[in-house]
Structures are given as structure tokens and as C-alpha cells.
Amino acid sequence: TIMRTLVTNNRYTGIGQIAGTLTLQNSEVRFTNACYCTSPNAGKGLSLGGTATLSGNYIYNNDKNIVSGGQIILTNNIITNGPKEFSNGPIAFTGNIFDTGQDLTIDPSVSSFTASGNTILWSYKGYDRSGGIWSNATWAPVDLPYIISSNLLIGSGTLTLQPGVII
């Protein structure tokens, strides 16, 4: 558990989690950038695996604010100025403010994605679900529309859209 902490001016990754459980509350993660690095993890404010719960944080000015490969729960955070990438899951967003001109990407194969009460302050105003689906996936209705900004490839399996889904 990390509370009331400033994580700043990191060259590679502000906070990296491979597995286990991380709780980050009422903290700031800022100014993490690639700085001419060749590492695939360079510039990630938060690189998350395992289970991560983030609440009441200010996460901003990172080359990639959040990159998640595990379960993530975001509640009442302000996340600005940098792309966000979420894969695997489950993923739950509640009451967050996303203020950026870059993508908020949810891997299209993630079936367990819930969202309510979030605000997105840029032109897309939705969750980007572009990419590939390689097994069965179900998309449920959430608080904002799904956006397909490039291609959505269903390589195998079936994509099921529950009633009320807006694309």
C-alpha cells in the first residue's frame, strides 16, 4: 500500500508491479518519460501486473500514464497528459477524470470491463477498443461509448455486444 506519496522525475517506470497486490491512494505520479531509452517499459508512470487498486490519485505528464496487464480498479482519480493502455483484466473505472488528447485504450478482448460516472475531456469521449480479438469476448454497456479508432479484427471467436452497448 502506497499512500500520500509523490513519485516524480523517473526515467523508466514510476511504479512497476509484476504480480501481487498494489494499492495506491491519494498520491501523485508525474514526469516519467522515455529519455532516449530502449527499454519497452520506458516512460510508464505505472506499469501494473497482478491486482492494482488506485483511488484519489493525480497521475499526469507521463509518456504512458498507466499500462496494465492485470486486474485494475480506478476510483476517483485525475489522469492527464499521456496515453493509457489496459489489457487482460478485469477492469473497473468509477468516478475518474481522464483529461488528455491521447488514447484511452481498452484491449478489445477484455470482457470484464465496467465503468460508471467517469468524465473524458477530449475529442474521442469514449473508450478505444481497436485491435484484435482472438477468443470469445463480450462487451457490456458502460458510461461512455466505445470508440473504434482504427481496425477491430475478430481473428477467431465471437464478439457479443450486450443490449445497450454504444459504439
- Predicted structure pTM score: 0.78
Q: Which of 80, 57, 84 is nearest to 3 (CA)?
A: 57
Per residue in 93-103, pLDDT (tens digit) is 999 998 866 66
pLDDT tier for residue 79 given thresholds of 50, 70 and 90? confident
Cell numbers for 56, please give them. 484519489
For residues 41 and 159, what is the distance between their CA atoms, to the nearest angstrom? Answer: 30
pLDDT tier for residue 51 given thresholds of 50, 70 and 90? confident
Which has the higher per-residue pLDDT, 83 or 26? 26
Q: Is the Cβ–Cβ distance between 74 and 100 less than 8 Å?
A: no
DSSP 23-34: EEES-EEE----
Q: Return the pLDDT at 140.
A: 92
Which has the higher per-residue pLDDT, 93 or 122? 93
Please count the other Cβ atoms lying within 10 Å of the Cβ belonging to residue 87.
Answer: 17
The mean per-residue pLDDT over the stretch 144-154 comes to 88
